[in-house]
Structure 1
């Protein structure tokens, strides 16, 4: 064997050693591609610096909306020492997990921040559920520590911190809406939360059911949807009264609400097919009353709520 062929073979072997990928390189490349794909699927995200096992980046995917909302609520609750059931109940009461909700008072998004509070809490986009939930959890944790209980934190969230402070100082007035709000979320009245707060209250969403499963069941009724509407019926804003898998049931929802709400006399409802992207292809029929402006929609929704009904102002 000559020296030259041996040297060439040695050189070729050395080159192979240099350029051959490391054993984990292919896996790392696939992982990077997967990360890029996940990034593209992320409908909303928010970077946070939170302790524990919560990732530094919250991602809520449009095609796994309910799953990611529930996961985010659970992780934010753990990181801020809030019962997950309490946080989920509060957000559900605020918006039914709808990231596009607008209240008659102008509160926006899944966590229903009014613009002035959003500015104070450094919330840049109330319609980004990842950011809004993070700001909401932090705000509730602050008020729980400041006022001494979850019930008073809920009062502050609904009626404002000043109302909670005055109530804690002995003021007896509390808006009826706030009284109902706190009782729905906590099962206790506002006076009990001030005078004799329960030491250990179970906020579980369901008995003997893990939080994630119970939260997903709750989220099945959320109005995160893709909407389709007949062009002739379209208006920029709408007041949504409810939804059901059955068109007939949606019609009955309108009939019931109309019967007890004078402001709906003579109104013609709009029925919208909405598809919850987190729960397959089956669509629900939402019933709405259309309006040209947000202000008109807010006024109508306020009338409906005063009559004891439920409604959400939505952008079409």
Structure 2
């Protein structure tokens, strides 16, 4: 049976041209470009919590890296380096080889180097730390949204949650739609180009990626920025044909694993954002606005109907330790 170091050398040792020193020593050595700040994020994926245990390992390799790159995208950072730590129940080389193929396919697409990590025996658990660069003082932060800003979201929120519901047998989707939704769940596309454009062209003030659900993650922006947000149900993207309408709407507003970008932008940038959507071939939807929080009130997110009346919301997103009630 191969040792830990044999597995690392065989499946995870690749050239690291962006690093001063890559894997093989006690630490990697990295040199940020002049005038840049480091953006650093880490996410853990646990079998049975973040992915189904029988998930294809190539898809899992891609997703393990993609969800971390998505955090960098939300900050307007350019991805540079990643570290991978994981526990594996056994040294299944076929599984490890497929996982590494998926991981490096994602790394190559987004031009990042794997510069270190760790492996051990245990329940299947994968943890990536990702590092990116952003010019000093220019990152997209959660605490910069302003009253009067528009609320935008990219892509097709809700597809990943529909895919999970299909795999779990909670709904039955037509073949073409099920494949589209399962792909969205298992092979998300971090919106790096969008994040960079929003930051470089100064089109957004605040941003977050949607990992736990639209309303739940929007709650982090309003809490950090100290303002309220209104989401207009009628302006949400059309629900996919062939899905149960009520479930599809619930997946849009509270489903996780989308990794789309949710961001605030001043109204004068609407034309520029429409042009950017065409340039990137990525739908951008204006789905609400930010408003001042009444005095002595906590910041909140409201879902409104076509008449501007609040709609009841029973579930806003995923929370590991309880319901997120923002």
Higher RCO (CA-CA < 8 Å; seq separation 6+): 2
Decide which structure has the larger Cα Rg and report it: 1
Greater per-residue strand proportion: 2
Q: Normalised by the shorter chain, which TM-score bucket? A: under 0.3
Using structure 1 for the length normalisation, give the TM-score: 0.26
Greater per-residue helix proportion: 1
